[in-house]
Amino acid sequence: YKITPMNLILPVVTLYPNWSEIYGGETITVRCEIHGGDTEWDYEWEANSIRKLPNLNEYRIISASSSNSGNYRCKGRMKSSQHETTEWSDSVTLTVFHNKPRPVLTVSPSWLSPGASVTLNCEVEHPSAGWSFYWYKAVPDLSEKSYSYELLPGGSGTAQDSYIIHGQTHTAGYVCRAGRGDPEYHTDHSQPKFVWSAGQFVSLSASLTVSPDRVQHFTSDSVSLTCEGNFTEWRVRKFSDGRLYSSNCWRMTGSTCNIHTSKSDTGVYWCESGSGEFSSAVNITVQSIPVHPVTEGASVSLSCSLRTQKILSNVFFYHNDKLIQNDTRGELKISAVSKSDEGFYKCQYSGRESAQSWMSVKGEQDQNVMDFNGFHA
Ligand SMILES: *[C@@H]1O[C@H](CO)[C@@H](O)[C@H](O)[C@H]1NC(C)=O
Ligand SMILES: *[C@@H]1O[C@H](CO)[C@@H](O)[C@H](O)[C@H]1NC(C)=O
Ligand SMILES: *[C@@H]1O[C@H](CO)[C@@H](O)[C@H](O)[C@H]1NC(C)=O
């Protein structure tokens, strides 16, 4: 039978729940545990080297703020013998972030194909234990210039950070948020993310048509996007470089949006109706026309590059979608350009295809070099 000397007892500070990183507004309890038999203790606390907390074995921080960040340690003082104290515990660091977190939602795939399911993933910054997830469908709300959110079936407080949707057939938007703790603390809603339907596999109540009807457009073209369906009110949306944009129509007449294209108009486009419908979606690619047209009689060399690296062999070259060179050479040389060489050129390498480039032919002159760089690696 042995008595542990007081000054050898080491209290332990624990956080309950056990999260060392929390957000402003969350509730957490800092607890001092002393394993020293039946002894009754008074508690001394030190937070950021300042002794100011009450004489209790636990300290509940309700609606934390950044002033609660810091190092916490405690020691015990015997109630019956006030000069007998334990050692100081090790410090426990609590960090309270000022900003409300906004989770990032990813949706895959981006484009629907028949029978494929859609997987949503919700990622919280500073991930730590204890989040549950809420999953919503985004419903276009034209009066609010945004979306309203409808909880998906079984989408309330899931333990998993992913959610799978089966049988999705039309363009849809999704949003997530996370929550944890008691009382429950909620993050902001994520930005909406989308899965697009080109509309070729199902009949949709709304669709988007592009005129002129081609994949590729050139800067300063005039392109019109028409929202079709039995709805009176529309807006056109664009998603580009991971961001959602409102319509960039310079004029919206009825359900038709007119754009004078610039390179920044490249993106995925769709319509949203006043009654909350999404239309089919289209890719629009805008590229600049070469500033200097090629002169008749000139020699032209067309090459193909992957990002910044030039490809030196086994490139297939196409003129107006017709294969014109499929050997081991990496370049297409035209020694004397004629008017019939005008048109769209693209290249293909290792199963991947560049965007089309337009070559125009004028008057007469010398040496020209043209480069493709439309590859997506
Ligand atoms: C608390 O969390 C930390 C780090 O996540 C872990 O090392 C520790 O064992 C946890 N403590 C308890 C009591 O669960
Ligand atoms: C749109 O472009 C993406 C990426 O280039 C592609 O995966 C997708 O199939 C295209 N969709 C349509 C309908 O062309
Ligand atoms: C269009 O919608 C209106 C009102 O919802 C409905 O009365 C009408 O029958 C619809 N027309 C067509 C062609 O679907």
Give the residue among 2, 4, 1, 16 at the shortest CA–CA distance from 87.
Answer: 4
CB distance 113 to ligand 1 below 6 Å: no
Residue 291 makes CB contacts below 8 A (sequence gap 6+) with none
C-alpha 352 – ligand 2 centre gap (Å): 13
C-alpha 17 – ligand 1 centre gap (Å): 10
Closest ligand by atom to 13 CA: 1
Pick the residue with more confidence: 203 or 216? 203
Cα distance between residue 48 and residue 55, in whole Å: 17
294-376 belongs to which homologous superfamily?
A: Immunoglobulins (2.60.40.10)
Atom number, ligand 2, closest to the C-alpha of residue 268: 1
CATH code of 6-97, in short, is 2.60.40.10
pLDDT tens by residue, 19-51: 999 999 999 999 999 987 788 899 999 998 788
Cα distance between residue 377 and residue 359, in whole Å: 24
The confidence band for 376, taking pLDDT boundaries of 50, 70 and 90, is very low
C-alpha 234 – ligand 2 centre gap (Å): 23
Q: How many percent of the chain have pLDDT more than 70?
A: 92
Report the nearest-CA residue for atom 4 of ligand 2. Answer: 283
C-alpha 338 – ligand 1 centre gap (Å): 75
Burial class (CB in 10 A: 0-12, 13-18, 19+), 209: middle
The predicted pLDDT at position 289 comes to 64
Report the nearest-CA residue for atom 6 of ligand 1. Answer: 18
pLDDT tens by residue, 76-107: 999 998 888 999 999 999 999 998 999 999 99
- pLDDT exceeds cutoff 70 at 3: no
Closest ligand by atom to 228 CA: 3
- 6-97 and 104-195 have identical folds: yes
Cα distance between residue 323 and residue 347, in whole Å: 9
The predicted pLDDT at position 366 comes to 47
- Give mean pLDDT, residues 107-120: 94
- Give mean pLDDT, residues 181-188: 93
Cα distance between residue 296 and residue 300, in whole Å: 10
Pick the residue with more confidence: 138 or 215? 138
Task: Kindly list the domain boundaries of the chain, sorted by start residue.
Answer: 6-97, 104-195, 206-287, 294-376
Report the nearest-CA residue for atom 2 of ligand 2. Answer: 283
The predicted pLDDT at position 290 comes to 58
The confidence band for 122, taking pLDDT boundaries of 50, 70 and 90, is very high
- pLDDT exceeds cutoff 70 at 375: no
Cα distance between residue 72 and residue 91, in whole Å: 5
Label residues 136-150 b or e (16+ Cβ within 10 Å = b). Answer: bbbbbeeeeeebebe
Report the nearest-CA residue for atom 1 of ligand 2. Answer: 283
CATH code of 104-195, in short, is 2.60.40.10
- pLDDT exceeds cutoff 90 at 277: yes
Report the nearest-CA residue for atom 10 of ligand 2. Answer: 283
Closest ligand by atom to 171 CA: 2
Give the residue among 309, 370, 317 at the shortest CA–CA distance from 348.
Answer: 317
- Give mean pLDDT, residues 108-126: 92
Pick the residue with more confidence: 370 or 55? 55
pLDDT tens by residue, 237-246: 999 988 999 8
Q: What tokens were used for 77? A: 């003082």
The confidence band for 218, taking pLDDT boundaries of 50, 70 and 90, is confident
Bridge partner list, 73: 46
Pick the residue with more confidence: 83 or 129? 83
Cα distance between residue 247 and residue 259, in whole Å: 9
The full 3-state SS of the chain, as one line of letters, equals CCCCCHHHCCCEEEEECCCCEEECCCCEEEEEECCCCCCCEEEEEEECCECCCCCCCEEEECCCCHHHCEEEEEEEEECCCCCCECCCCCCEEEEEECCCCCCEEEEECCECCCCCCEEEEEECCCCCCCCEEEEEEEEEECCCCEEEEEECCCCCCECCCEEEECCCCCCEEEEEEEEECCCCEECCCCCCEEEECCCCCCCCCEEEEEECCCCEEECCCEEEEEEEECCCCEEEEEEECCEEEECCCCEEECCEEEEECCHHHCEEEEEEECCCCEEEEEEEEEECCCCCCEEECCEEEEEEEECCEECCECCEEEECCEEEECCCECEEEECCCCHHHCEEEEEEECCEECCCEEECEEEECCEEEEEECCCCC
- pLDDT exceeds cutoff 80 at 203: yes
The predicted pLDDT at position 4 comes to 64
C-alpha 206 – ligand 3 centre gap (Å): 13
CB distance 210 to ligand 2 below 6 Å: no
Ligand 2 pocket, mutate which of 113, 209, 283 (most atoms under 8 A from CB)? 283
* CA atoms within a 13 Å half-sphere pointing along the CA-CB vector of 310: 8
pTM above 0.85, yes or no: no
CATH code of 206-287, in short, is 2.60.40.10
The predicted pLDDT at position 369 comes to 55
Pick the residue with more confidence: 148 or 200? 148
pLDDT tens by residue, 301-341: 888 877 667 777 888 999 988 999 988 888 899 999 998 99
CB distance 18 to ligand 1 below 6 Å: yes
The predicted pLDDT at position 75 comes to 93
- Give mean pLDDT, residues 268-273: 94
C-alpha 226 – ligand 3 centre gap (Å): 19
